[in-house]
């Protein structure tokens, strides 16, 4: 999973001397989270919807007509934009983006090809990624089992059990129990299984009979094949 | 210059030892903040930032050519060199890196101040080498109510160029300083929107009496008091009992305030009915005196303090200290013992000294 396949390409960018009120309008009208600020082809900053809201809140709190007019007519993007924003390269992996966002606690990155802005990753794209992962629109049945030791062969064993119970396995992901970094030697995990099955209870019964502990189970309602676009 | 030194740093990170990096003004503001005194927040563009700017803009390399072998008494030559250097400084741009660092600090300051593109005071902060020069030339540049990053950058450059007034250059030539060795720092401080402001001495500046605190006050920004443009209200307060011993309410004709339409600091006439009214309340005076005592205690010497009372802040949290420096006129005077050396002075000195010393009975 490479950033260039998941980003929103050709994002709307703005110049740093644009009025902030105008930037706010662009964000709202296009339902965007952030606008990269580009002057003469060089990324100079990032304006987020959050920044705009905060400014608007400060201005509103003054209840002062002159402050309103300053906001509407004089406050520029470069007064408010974050300088040297964190970015990712289009050749980075999505894992790298997720890790960086978690670490910095930010939700949007301009995507760079060298020094040029070629895309953006924001909450919209992260939702899209997660939705693809879980096949959100397929309404799959889901079971989470664990905690268990992540040993070689365990994933295959679970698949066999589920398929023998008559299910059609769509996805299986072991995830760590301890986030984000387990202590060394710690191999305990949970396993998430996504499938379509005519008889959901047969699947969970088979897993329990084999000694697995079920943490969550959700019965899905498969729909007919949807026309969702499939990405990367 | 070591590359580990920052180009921009917050006041609260400035300490007494950092005068060569952030100048006297910013380092003393940092010290005040860390002593628990209420000071409006801000940051310093350090001398490393200044050197970076001068080198990137290519002015540093041309200095030798511009100043040449001018003598300290060649006023005409100095004036020409000064205006050329200052023009070049003000026309040059900061490096992207430095501009970003200043702008990022300004953005954070705005968030801390709950005001987008917050209004700031931009002031030069002279370093030790240049202190005497700066004080004699009276060229401590101060720009009030600056809003927007473009204006902040522009006025920061003006402060930097004040290092090259003809008088400052003449002073350095006379003292044998290399122009390239002397740096300047710029303080960018959140502007207190003051209703009343002024200065306070933790001694009586007219006679050096350390048992009283003297406060001068006028409406608006403190600049009208500092510059001596108006006759301010004056109050004398007992340092121990915090009683107001004397109050002189003057006729105040002018004050500096912000014109909220243009967002600039303007001189405005004080309306007739307010001219003869005491510009600061008794409660505020006592609170000020208390802060003055605290500052004096921290520094261990009489101080000269600039203060402001912000009109946008809630009462009880609205008195701010903008600057504090050691009082120099009286506190450096050596007090002579009255006795023993009274010979040759007035008759009264002689009588007093003999009374205090007592007479030897042989």
Q: Is A143 strand, coil or helix?
A: strand
> How high is the pLDDT of residue A81?
96
- Contact criterion met (CB below 8 Å) for B174 and B30: no
**Considering only CB atoms, which residues of chain B are within 8 Å of chain A?**
100-101, 103-104, 107, 110-111, 114-117, 147-150, 260-261, 263
> Residues of chain A with pLDDT > 70: what percent?
91
- Contact criterion met (CB below 8 Å) for A97 and A108: no
Beta bridge mates, A43: A38
Q: Return d(Cα A44, Cα A50) in angstroms, integer.
A: 18
Residue of B nearest to A84 (CA): B100
> How high is the pLDDT of residue B315?
81
> How high is the pLDDT of residue B330?
77
Using CB atoms, which residue from B101, B116, B147 is nearest to A55?
B116
Give the residue-averaged pLDDT of A154-168: 91
- Answer whether B148 sits within 8 Å of A75, measured CB to CB: yes
Give the residue-averaged pLDDT of A135-140: 86
Q: Is A64 on the interface with B (CB under 8 A)?
A: yes
> How high is the pLDDT of residue B272?
92
Start-end of H helices in A105-173: 123-134, 154-164
Give the residue-averaged pLDDT of A220-225: 64
Q: What is the dihedral of CA A201, A203, A205, A211, to 10 degrees?
A: -150
Q: How confident is the model at residue A152 (pLDDT cuts 50, 70, 90)?
A: confident
Give the residue-averaged pLDDT of A60-84: 93
> How high is the pLDDT of residue A47?
96
pTM, entire model: 0.84
Q: How confident is the model at residue A179 (pLDDT cuts 50, 70, 90)?
A: low
At residue B35's C-alpha, the angle toward residues B319 and B106, to 5°, is 65
Q: Return d(Cα A129, Cα B319) in angstroms, integer.
A: 53
Domains of chain B in start order, with CATH, are 8-190 (3.30.1490.20), 194-332 (3.30.470.20)
> How high is the pLDDT of residue A229?
47
Residues in chain A closer than 8 A to B266 (CB atoms): none
What is the sign, positive or negative, of the torsion defined by CA atoms of B32, B33, B39, B42?
positive
DSSP result, B274-288: GTTS-SS-HHHHHHH
Using CB atoms, which residue from B117, B260, B263 is nearest to A79?
B117
Q: Is A54 on the interface with B (CB under 8 A)?
A: yes
Q: How confident is the model at residue A232 (pLDDT cuts 50, 70, 90)?
A: very low
Residues in chain A closer than 8 A to B114 (CB atoms): 58, 61
Q: How far is B121 from chain A (nearest CA, A)?
A: 16
User: In the predicted model, is pLDDT for residue A227 greater than 70?
Assistant: no
Q: Which two tokens stand for residue A121?
A: 């990753």
User: In the predicted model, is pLDDT for residue A65 greater than 60?
Assistant: yes
> How high is the pLDDT of residue A178?
59
Q: How confident is the model at residue A83 (pLDDT cuts 50, 70, 90)?
A: very high
Gyration radius of chain B's alpha carbons: 23
> How high is the pLDDT of residue B71?
84
- Contact criterion met (CB below 8 Å) for B266 and B254: no
Give the residue-averaged pLDDT of A103-126: 94
Low-confidence spans in chain B with pLDDT less than 70: 1-3, 128-140, 332-345, 354, 356-362
Mean pLDDT, chain A, integer: 88
């Amino acid at each position: 999973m490479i950033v260039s396949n998941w980003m929103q390409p050709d994002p709307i960018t703005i110049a740093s001397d644009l009025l902030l009120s105008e930037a706010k309008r662009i964000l709202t009208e296009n339902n965007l989270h952030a606008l990269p600020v580009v002057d003469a082809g060089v990324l100079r900053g990032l304006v987020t919807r959050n920044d705009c809201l905060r400014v608007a809140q400060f201005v509103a709190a003054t209840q002062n007509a002159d402050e309103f007019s300053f906001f509407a007519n004089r406050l520029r993007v470069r007064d408010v934009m974050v300088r040297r924003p964190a970015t990712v390269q289009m050749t980075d992996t999505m894992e790298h983006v997720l890790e960086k966002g978690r670490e910095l606690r930010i939700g949007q990155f301009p995507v760079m090809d060298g020094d040029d802005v070629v895309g953006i990753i924001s909450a919209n794209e992260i939702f899209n990624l997660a939705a693809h992962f879980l096949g959100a629109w397929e309404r799959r049945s889901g079971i989470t089992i664990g905690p268990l030791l992540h040993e070689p062969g365990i994933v295959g064993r679970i698949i066999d059990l589920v398929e023998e119970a008559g299910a059609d396995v769509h996805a299986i992901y072991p995830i760590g129990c301890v986030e984000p970094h387990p202590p060394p030697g710690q191999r305990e995990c949970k396993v998430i299984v996504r499938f379509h099955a005519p008889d959901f209870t047969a699947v969970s019964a088979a897993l329990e009979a084999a000694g697995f502990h079920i943490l969550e189970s959700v019965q899905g309602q498969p729909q007919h094949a949807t026309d969702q676009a499939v990405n990367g | 210059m070591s590359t580990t030194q920052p180009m921009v740093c917050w006041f609260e990170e400035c300490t007494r030892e950092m005068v060569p990096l952030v100048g006297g003004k910013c380092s003393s503001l940092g010290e005040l903040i860390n002593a628990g005194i209420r000071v409006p927040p801000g940051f310093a563009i350090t001398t490393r930032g200044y050197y970076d700017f001068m080198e990137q803009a290519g002015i540093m390399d041309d200095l030798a050519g511009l100043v040449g072998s001018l003598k300290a008494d060649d006023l005409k030559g100095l004036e020409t060199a000064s205006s050329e250097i200052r023009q070049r400084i003000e026309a040059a741009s900061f490096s992207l890196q430095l501009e970003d660092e200043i702008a990022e600090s300004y953005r954070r300051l705005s968030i801390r101040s709950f005001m987008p593109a917050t209004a700031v005071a931009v002031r030069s902060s002279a370093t030790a080498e240049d202190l005497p020069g700066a004080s004699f030339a009276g060229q401590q540049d101060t720009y009030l109510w600056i809003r927007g990053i473009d204006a902040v950058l522009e006025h920061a450059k003006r402060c930097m160029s004040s290092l090259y007034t003809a008088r400052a250059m003449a002073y350095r030539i006379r003292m044998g300083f290399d122009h390239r060795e002397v740096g300047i720092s710029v303080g960018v401080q959140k502007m207190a929107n003051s209703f009343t402001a002024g200065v306070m001495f933790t001694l009586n500046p007219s006679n050096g009496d350390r048992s009283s605190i003297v406060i001068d006050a006028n409406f608006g920004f403190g600049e009208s008091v500092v510059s001596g443009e108006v006759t301010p209200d004056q109050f004398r307060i007992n340092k121990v009992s915090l009683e107001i011993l004397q109050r002189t309410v003057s006729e105040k004709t002018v004050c500096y305030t912000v014109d909220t339409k243009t967002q600039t600091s303007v001189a405005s006439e004080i309306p007739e009915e307010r001219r003869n009214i005491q510009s600061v309340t008794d409660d505020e005076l006592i609170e000020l005196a208390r802060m003055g005592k605290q500052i004096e205690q921290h520094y261990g010497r009489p101080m000269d303090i600039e203060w402001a009372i912000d009109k946008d802040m809630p009462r009880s949290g609205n008195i701010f200290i903008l600057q504090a420096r050691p009082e120099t006129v009286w506190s450096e005077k050596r007090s002579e013992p009255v006795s023993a050396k009274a010979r040759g002075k007035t008759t009264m000195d002689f009588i007093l000294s003999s009374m205090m010393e007592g007479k030897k009975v042989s």
